Structure 1
Amino acid sequence: MKFRRFCLLLVVSVAISCLGNDYNNSEHKSQNRDPKQWSEKKAWQWYNNQPWLVGCNYLPSTASNQLEMWQADTFEPDTIEQELEWASEIGFNIVRVFLHNMLWEQDSKGFIKRIDKFIEIADKFDIKVMPVLFDSCWNPYSSLGKQPEPKPHVHNSTWVQCPHIETLKNTESWDKLKAYAQGIVKQYKNDPRVLIWDIFNEPGNTNQTAYGHLEPDNKKELALQLMKKSFKWVRELNPEQPLTASVWEGNWKKGDDISALNKFALEKSDLVQFHVYHNPEITSKWVNMLKEYNRPIICGEYMSRGTGNTFEDILPIFKKHRVAAINWGFVAGRSQTNYPWDSWTKEYTSEPELWFHDILRPDGTPYKQKEVEFIKKIIKR
């Protein structure tokens, strides 16, 4: 009898110990994951309910940067409607668009009204929207009002960062960035036409070729701090859409040598996002590397013909692995992204024979008809 009682007590003790270990393990896992971050299961359930997402980073051909796109005096819904109709005809079902905190601070109601109009137009053509809240790329000194004329034949010569570099450096001023981020997300957090929130584009990019001499030495640290806060600000609102931020340089493989910026973006995003402007071999390598994170993968930027990163070479890789594919550029125009990056250091006097980005001319005719036919075919296949 005593022996049986001893065995029973031993079994109960072992069971309690195992339950305790399971609890500690699950507690450890939950502490490692933001409580409002989507689980891997939820992320895959959401992603598997989407079509293959293929689209472009969208800027109207009449706008040189995101401020010119959205400001009341230069917002052109007729141009947007025509160009998104062309995007729909190609088969695109998503556009990634950049916002800016200065527009919110200047006139939040007017800004929302124009975003409403943009989303309404996109929805007319069954195109979902992926807004970008913050951005580390190009000119650190943004300003409202009439934008400078683009430098002739220079790639993205007037694109501006968000926030202004002085705002980024002054962390005590970030309450207004919180108001902007939460104000935008609160407006659309239950809107099915807004598909994904892109919290931060290429955080910490120091734009060495064009603006490196103007960037603070601690920009990467500031960008990481802002990215952490902005994820927190948005998660407080519990939006129905997934959150993401892009990795774009350095090592992305899990391990001790991954940068703090990349680690946070990859481990805290609901969907893993990367940018690639390299050849098919490197692109395939990066896709397989990112599969380690066991989350759906989005390529938020790709396609630069001059680096061997073409639709014909890259889209089959993305289709095979069901990676969402959002190329840079659509209709060539004031952004001049059909010119290559080296136009910042090399003089061009006319349109390059080989376009770098972009797909259509301002009148809607393709730069390469065979390229457009290929995109249509691979999307429908």
Structure 2
Amino acid sequence: MKSLILTGLLAMVTSFTSFAGPTIELPGRWSPEKANTWYDEQPWLVGCNFTPSTAINQLEMWQADTFDPKTIDRELGWAADIGMNTVRVYLHDMLWQQDSEGFLTRIDQFLGIADKHGIKTMFVLFDSCWASFPKLGKQPTPRPHRHNSGWVQSPNFNTLKDVTKHKSLKPYVTGVIGKFKNDPRVLCWDLYNEPGNGNSDDRIRKIRKEAICLILLEHTFRWSRELNPSQPLTCGGLWTGEWIGPNSTHLSKFILENSDIISFHNYEDLHKTIDRVGSIRPFGRPLLCTEYLARSVDSKFETHLPYFKKNKIAAYNWGLVAGKTQTQYPWASLSKKFTAEPKIWHHDILMPDGTPHIQSEVDLMKSLTSKKQIPSSQ
């Protein structure tokens, strides 16, 4: 019976995907001129993917019992001190279901703290990565020496795989964006992080997951466009495979034809990063690298930051303070046993007391930014 249900589901997904594929540009997209005018008003955007060191994942960051404004304030202060003016921050749909009003209040509190430090926020609504079946409440303790051992997907896989449940997510999308759609403290909206990514627990082939994520992404763009936010929309979905060309996917094409500003992830060396940028530069829209910095595979501050600044490509490295996400450990720690921190960290910049992991990296960032920050909206 389960196999028959799965077969039916995949047939439905294929049907949806064949419908979604030709649907390229949805109404309401910003023109390149509008997007570039918006971008010209920004300083060079430099920041990080931020989770406070006291949170293992999105749920622990935002739930009422573990929301930690004191740590957020301290760590965003450190971010500003080294020249950052923006952060990319993950939300989660289950937080809306748990306590929508409280969730919005905490988001507003976070924005107030960030704004105090001259930092604007890019919020991420959905995420395809890591644990497939998150649960509200107390979150697990980190697995020792393991990279990102507690991060969770949004929505959970049971909701994602049943396309008939996708519309239940609309109140979350419209509730959050609707509340802050004209808030100058919000830089932009990243609707879906790496759609199609995942892990073996997803129990479905990657190509099928990508197809299902495309359906949800299209819904999310439509719901967001209906609100007409003053901030641009993007999707952190350019991260693997061929983005442009005969082997590019419907998902990549859809993202490139619907994002107001184009964001991408690249953990490769500078030469490969430059090639990636060259492939999407012809779209004539602002470019934001919303994930980079993997020292163990030659994605480094000293190579990438000067290039990003010269070309006014926004730069968001992964991580700020080494904490419960343990992303100073490399991806190899998922399959290989580590008993101590690597000498050279994979991600992250600062130790828990604010001391730089590598002082020269912080000095470089300060020199490139001259600590110029986005003016406070207050």
TM-score, scaled relative to structure 2: 0.90
1:213 CA drift (Å) = 4.1
2:252 is the counterpart of 1:252: no
Aligned to 1:163: 155
2:204 is the counterpart of 1:216: yes
Secondary structure at 1:52 match in 2: coil
Aligned to 2:233: 243
1:58 CA drift (Å) = 0.3
- 1:66-85 equivalences under 5 Å are 66-85=58-77
Question: Contact 2:264 / 2:290 at 8 angstroms: preserved in 1?
Answer: yes
2:129 is the counterpart of 1:137: yes
Aligned to 2:368: 378
Aligned to 1:343: 333
Secondary structure at 1:134 match in 2: strand
- 1:170-249 equivalences under 5 Å are 170-206=162-198, 211-217=199-205, 218-246=208-236, 247-249=238-240
1:256 CA drift (Å) = 3.6
2:357 is the counterpart of 1:367: yes
Q: Which has the higher contact order (CA 8 A, sep 6+)?
A: 2
State the distance in 2 between where 1:32 and 1:131 align.
24
Question: Contact 1:140 / 1:215 at 8 angstroms: preserved in 2?
Answer: no
1:214 CA drift (Å) = 3.1
Secondary structure at 2:84 match in 1: coil
Q: Which has the larger radius of gyration?
A: 1
Question: Contact 1:273 / 1:298 at 8 angstroms: preserved in 2?
Answer: yes
Cα offsets for 1:105-152 (capped at 9, x unmatched): 010001011111100000001100100000001111111000111111
2:270 is the counterpart of 1:280: yes
1:32 CA drift (Å) = 6.2
State the distance in 1 between where 2:255 and 2:25 align.
13
Secondary structure at 2:118 match in 1: coil
Aligned to 2:143: 151
State the distance in 2 between where 1:272 and 1:317 align.
17
Unpaired segments ≥5 residues, structure 1? 1-30
Decide which moves more: 166-175 or 39-48: 166-175
Alignment match of 2:46 (pick from 46, 54, 67): 54
State the distance in 2 between where 1:367 and 1:357 align.
10
Decide which moves more: 258-267 or 325-334: 258-267
CA distance 1:110–1:266, change in 2 (3 Å)? same
State the distance in 2 between where 1:145 and 1:32 align.
39
Secondary structure at 1:205 match in 2: coil
State the distance in 2 between where 1:260 and 1:57 align.
27
Aligned to 1:28: none
Unpaired segments ≥5 residues, structure 2? 1-22, 372-378
Secondary structure at 2:190 match in 1: strand
1:267 CA drift (Å) = 1.4
Alignment match of 2:113 (pick from 118, 121, 125): 121
1:296 CA drift (Å) = 0.5
Secondary structure at 1:258 match in 2: coil
State the distance in 1 between where 2:246 and 2:231 align.
31
Deviation beyond 6 Å, 4+ runs, structure 1:
none
State the distance in 2 between where 1:298 and 1:277 align.
14
**What percentage of residue pairs aligned between the two structures are identical?**
53
Aligned to 1:290: 280
Decide which moves more: 33-42 or 98-107: 33-42
State the distance in 1 between where 2:79 and 2:115 align.
12
State the distance in 1 between where 2:77 and 2:55 align.
18
Aligned to 2:289: 299
State the distance in 2 between where 1:263 and 1:380 align.
37
Cα offsets for 1:315-363 (capped at 9, x unmatched): 1111121100011000000000000001010000011111000000111
1:35 CA drift (Å) = 2.5
Cα offsets for 1:270-309 (capped at 9, x unmatched): 0011000000100111111110211110001000100000
Aligned to 1:26: none
